[in-house]
Structure 1
Amino acid sequence: MVFVVVGLVLVGALGLLNLALSIAIVRRLRRQEEQRRAIAPDASSGPEVGTAVPAFTAPTLGGKVFASASLAGGTAALSFITTSCGACDEFVSEMPQFAAKTGLDDSRIVVVIAGEQGKARQMADHLDGLATVVYEAAPGDISSLYSITATPTTVITDAHQNVTATHTGTKPHLQELPA
């Protein structure tokens, strides 16, 4: 009987310790979020409107090499998604509507997919004929160049490769396109 009581006391003590640690973690996360908001209250994903987009060269999932310089001379859209993002699946399913509404062909729409390669290929299959698909093993060099902090994010550029709009989320920002 003594062992049962000692066991229950130990389990109770562990439960209280777990609760105390959980509360401490939540408080710390809240404090960090408040500090982040104080530093950058309206931090958005993607480069600032009006800035020139960084140049990059990367392999496509089709095995070709894509150079961002090929987007000069007209409006273009660069979208950044990840394979682990639920909203990115919805984004991919809405891409035909976006392509039709903008009138941009697959050479003017670039989708950078980061994450697991098998899932990236599945997503790319849905984008075939709609976009050029570039693959990153994880959000890396290209995402960093473009200051991507959330997915899906789309960056719209003009003929001079300056950012005219950025949008984070699904329903690709049709209202933000230049007229």
Structure 2
Amino acid sequence: MPVLISAVVLVGALCSLDLILTLGVIKRLREHGDLLAARAVDRPRSAIELGEPVGEFATHTVDGEPLSRATMTGTTLVGFFTPTCGPCKEQLPKFMEYARTMPGGRDRVLAAVVGDEGLAAPMVTELRSVAKVVTQTRNEDPMGAAFEIMAFPTVLMVAPDAEGDVVVTDDAVDLSRPTLPV
């Protein structure tokens, strides 16, 4: 009987120790969660934000069409990708599926592929079926500057406001939800 009592006391002590350690871990996780939440608020933005106007730019699509802020006359889906970016490759099929549902079709979708022309070719080929495509290098990126792109992939929705300025209408486009017909 004394052995059984000793075993029960030992198990009780171990459970108490486990409970104390678990409570300590939970407290630390809450502290880390608070720190991460505070950092998320201070994180740098990846592009211009909701309501901000798009800067001036002038370039040409891979098909030779002139493209500028002035040619963006309606609601337009705009995506920025780079061929060396893993998340860009993951987002590309979602972007293309979403683009297929855009009212106005290909004329209301713009994709910029930033990077080496040789590496960008497969991505450009895919995107041409659903979007007007622009290729740019990191050194010469007028669209990236106009949209203040700081991270890839970036997907925005833009449209002219009441004064005719092209502004960001959605800076967190949910590519998993198709657009609704107008």
Larger of the two Rg values belongs to structure: 2
How far did residue 146 of structure 1 move?
Answer: 1.5
How far did residue 145 of structure 1 move?
Answer: 2.5
The SS at the match of 2:120 is helix
Look up the equivalent residue of 1:172 and give its one-letter code. L
Cα separation, 2, equivalents of 1:156 and 1:82: 19
Partner of 1:16: none
Cα separation, 2, equivalents of 1:86 and 1:138: 17
Change (3 A) 1:100 1:176: closer
- Residues 80-91 of structure 1: pairs in structure 2 closer than 5 A: 80-91=80-91
Partner of 2:119: 119
The SS at the match of 2:80 is strand
Cα separation, 2, equivalents of 1:151 and 1:64: 24
Aligned partner of 1:165 among 147, 154, 170? 170
Consecutive unaligned residues of structure 2, counting only runs of 5 or more, are 1-34
Look up the equivalent residue of 1:82 and give its one-letter code. T
How far did residue 118 of structure 1 move?
Answer: 1.5
How far did residue 87 of structure 1 move?
Answer: 1.4
Aligned length: 140
TM-score by length of 1: 0.66
Consecutive unaligned residues of structure 1, counting only runs of 5 or more, are 1-33
Cα separation, 1, equivalents of 2:158 and 2:101: 16
Change (3 A) 1:102 1:123: same
State whether residues 62 and 135 of structure 2, in contact with CA within 8 Å, keep that contact through their aligned partners in structure 1: yes
How far did residue 159 of structure 1 move?
Answer: 3.1
Superposition RMSD on alpha carbons, in Å? Answer: 2.8
The SS at the match of 2:78 is strand
State whether residues 95 and 130 of structure 1, in contact with CA within 8 Å, keep that contact through their aligned partners in structure 2: no
Matched, 1:102 2:107: no
